[in-house]
């Protein structure tokens, strides 16, 4: 009877988790980082005939990006076109739903393969935290290189951690998954080296099995090489191009450098301080514990090299984000087993636990319903819906153009019949005349620029009224707790109401 109740509870947790992922897929519109859009979707549009090479980001001319993911998008969007699906917002939603489903499935198999590390009373907690740690749903519905690389690496790790005796097929799968992970993001080679090192030195894997694993991986990489050559129209080895531009020529460092300890402070700050402390403690415990050799082999080279490389961004850790729930569960199990029998100590521990659960639930609600970044695509969707084919003039200040934030032409969400005018400051509005233009006039800025501007009252004098916000107002009140790019810069849209 008890087993039946536990089984029903597990399936209930899976159901609630799936609902969270579906909501995140619908609500997390736009992109978490520019690369997710400009180096995947915009690349795919080239093969779909909707953009030109000169309109793409510099990475296309440098040929430093694997085109595996853009090719997948090209095939998906091309197929959906024949099914009558053409709206960019629907296409992006389908992409997020597919990504979320892939992540959900990969984690499901990893839970099944790794649950033997934990006692039965920890299994329900492990399932719940694997899907509903607050940052898991909204990050992992995005079709970025970091997320898809992490999905396939986790699949390889699932096969490797499974306590059952491995077959030849298992080694073929490990090689296949590791190669796909590499094609999505080259830096996951560090994870692959760690995993293969574990299979060689700890599991003492037979040479024949290793040859099968490596051979399969090389065959997949050869296919990836052929895809790149087709996509770029010439023979090119993108991993070398990536290394040459970002490491030798130090192009990546031009986007900013950070000290070696950046990632530790990032985790501590961005995961919200109490939870960030727990994650760091769990990371140290997992690496140092003799029970989790495979995770030490995987994590140490990945983190060490990323700490050495000068250019650092929090998203570079996303390929291992799916391991955070495992590490936290391992830490909690260890602490509960070693807790003294004193009631006071246990009471303090459980009170702290309830505090963390409360913070997690609040953050989960905020981020599952929040659009990605400052809410660009919320505004472009609003414009598409309410202004349709009306001629528009959109004024904006620096990087606040919802259609074109980087001065790189964006074709996917772009629409015709729109003129864009950049303002260096809101104060420039004083010299502008919005009468008799025959066009609907909009102004887009962000809350940070608006709060700092000494001329924000000009909006009222020029008869501008706010008509949309990139982030829902109830989330905007709590935005200080959201640790993502442009977290403090919600986009807002104003319409000129000169004519009644």
Q: Are residues 346 and 450 in the same domain?
A: no
Cα separation, 112 vs 128, whole angstroms: 13
* Contact partners, residue 285, CB within 8 Å, separation at least 6: 327, 330, 331, 334
Angstrom distance (rounded) from CA 43 to CA 322: 27
pLDDT value of position 1? 62
Tell which of 318, 342, 368 closes a domain.
Answer: 368
Kindly state whether residues 45 and 113 are assigned to the same domain.
Answer: yes
Which residue among 308, 343, 368 closes a domain?
Answer: 368
pLDDT reported for residue 484: 55
Beta strands at 491-496 and 440-446: parallel, antiparallel or unpaired: antiparallel
Q: Cα separation of 328 and 96, whole Å?
A: 27
**Same domain flag for 212 and 302:** yes
Contact predicate 422/397, CB 8 Å: yes
Same domain for 232 and 204, yes or no, is yes
pLDDT of residue 141: 98
Q: Are residues 65 and 124 in the same domain?
A: yes
The predicted model scores a pTM of 0.95
**Whether 344 and 438 share a structural domain:** no
Are 447 and 317 part of one and the same domain? no
Q: Quick: pLDDT tens for 104-143.
A: 999 999 999 999 999 999 999 999 999 999 999 999 999 9
- Position 433 scores a pLDDT of 80
- Number of helices (H) and strands (E), helices first, in the chain? 22, 5
For residue 138, the enclosing domain spans 2-368
In the three-class reduction of DSSP (H, G, I as helix; E, B as strand; rest coil), residue 468 is classed as strand
Would strands 418-423 and 392-397 be described as parallel, antiparallel, or unpaired? parallel
Rounded distance between C-alpha atoms, residue 358 and residue 481, angstroms: 14
Same-domain pairing of 197 and 219: yes
Dmax (CA) for the chain in angstroms is 79
| Tally of domains in the chain | 2
Query: What per-residue confidence (pLDDT) applies to 500?
Result: 42
**How many whole angstroms separate alpha carbon 71 and alpha carbon 184?**
11
C-beta atoms surrounding 18 within 10 Å = 15
Q: Read off the tokens for 457.
A: 């009252």
Query: Is 152 found in the same domain as 130?
Result: yes
Residues 6+ apart with CB under 8 A from 397: 422, 423, 424, 425, 426, 445, 449
**Cα distance between residue 140 and residue 324, in whole Å:** 13
- Write out the DSSP string of 364-406: HHHHHSSPSTT-HHHHHHHHHHHTTT--EEEEEETT--SS-TT
The residue assigned the tokens 């915009």 is 42
Q: How far is CA 175 from the centre of its chain?
A: 24
b/e code 464-474 from CB counts within 10 Å (16+ = b): beebbbbbbee
Q: Which two tokens stand for residue 330?
A: 């391992």
pLDDT of res. 437: 63
Torsion of CA 450, 256, 60, 379, to 10 degrees: -20
Domain-ending residue, one of 368, 390, 417: 368
> Chain-centre distance of CA 12, in angstroms?
26
Statement to judge: residues 263 and 124 lie in one domain = yes
- Give the three-state DSSP class for 67: coil
pLDDT value at residue 465: 94
- Are 300 and 446 in the same domain? no
464-469/491-496 β-pairing: antiparallel
Q: Are residues 411 and 317 in the same domain?
A: no
Q: What is the mean pLDDT of each run of 10 residues along the chain (500 residues)?
A: 81 97 97 94 97 96 98 98 95 98 98 96 96 96 98 98 89 98 98 97 95 98 98 98 96 94 92 91 94 94 97 96 98 89 82 94 92 93 91 90 89 87 89 75 91 87 93 82 63 79
Give, rounded to a whole angstrom, the gap between the first and last alpha carbons of the chain. 69
């Amino acid at each position: 009877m008890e087993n039946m109740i536990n089984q029903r509870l597990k399936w209930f947790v899976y159901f609630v988790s799936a609902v969270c992922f579906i909501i995140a897929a619908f609500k997390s519109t736009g992109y978490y980082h520019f690369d997710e859009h400009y180096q995947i979707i915009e690349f795919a549009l080239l093969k779909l005939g909707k953009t030109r090479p000169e309109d793409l980001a510099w990475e296309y001319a440098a040929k430093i990006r694997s085109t595996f993911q853009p090719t997948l998008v090209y095939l998906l969007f091309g197929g959906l076109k024949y099914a009558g699906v053409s709206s960019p917002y629907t296409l992006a939603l389908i992409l997020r739903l597919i990504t979320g489903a892939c992540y959900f499935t990969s984690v499901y198999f990893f839970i099944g393969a790794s649950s033997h590390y934990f006692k039965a009373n920890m299994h329900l907690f492990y399932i719940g935290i694997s899907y509903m740690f607050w940052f898991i749903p909204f990050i992992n519905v995005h079709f970025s290189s970091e997320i898809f690389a992490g999905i396939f690496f986790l699949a390889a790790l699932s096969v490797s951690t499974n306590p059952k005796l491995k077959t030849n097929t298992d080694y073929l799968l490990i090689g296949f998954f590791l190669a796909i992970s590499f094609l999505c993001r080259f830096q996951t080679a560090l994870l692959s080296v760690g995993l293969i090192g574990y299979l060689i030195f700890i599991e003492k894997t037979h040479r024949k099995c290793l040859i099968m694993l490596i051979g399969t991986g090389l065959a997949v990489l050869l296919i990836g090489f052929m895809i790149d050559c087709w996509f770029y129209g010439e023979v090119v080895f993108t991993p070398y191009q990536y290394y040459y531009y970002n490491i030798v020529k130090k192009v990546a460092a031009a986007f900013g450098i950070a000290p070696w300890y950046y990632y530790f402070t990032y985790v501590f700050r961005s995961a919200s301080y109490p939870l960030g402390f727990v994650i760091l403690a769990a990371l140290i415990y997992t690496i140092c514990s003799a029970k989790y050799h495979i995770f030490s082999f995987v994590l140490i080279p990945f983190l060490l090299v990323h700490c050495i490389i000068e250019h650092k961004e929090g998203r570079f850790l996303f390929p291992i984000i799916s391991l955070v729930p495992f590490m936290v569960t391992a830490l909690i199990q260890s602490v509960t087993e070693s807790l003294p029998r004193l009631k006071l100590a246990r009471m303090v521990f459980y009170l702290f636990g309830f505090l963390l659960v409360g913070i997690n639930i609040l953050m989960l609600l905020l981020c599952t319903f929040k659009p990605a970044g400052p809410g660009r695509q919320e505004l472009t969707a609003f414009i598409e819906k309410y202004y349709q084919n009306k001629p528009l003039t959109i004024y904006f200040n620096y990087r606040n153009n919802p259609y074109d934030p980087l001065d790189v032409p964006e074709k996917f969400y772009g629409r015709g019949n729109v003129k864009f005018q950049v303002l260096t400051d809101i104060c420039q509005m004083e010299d502008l005349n919005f009468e008799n233009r025959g066009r609907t006039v909009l102004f887009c800025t962000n809350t940070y620029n608006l709060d700092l501007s000494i001329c924000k009252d000009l909006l009222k004098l020029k008869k501008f009224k706010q008509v949309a916000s990139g982030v829902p107002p109830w989330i905007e009140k709590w935005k200080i707790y959201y640790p993502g790019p442009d977290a403090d810069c919600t986009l807002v849209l104003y319409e000129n109401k000169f004519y009644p």
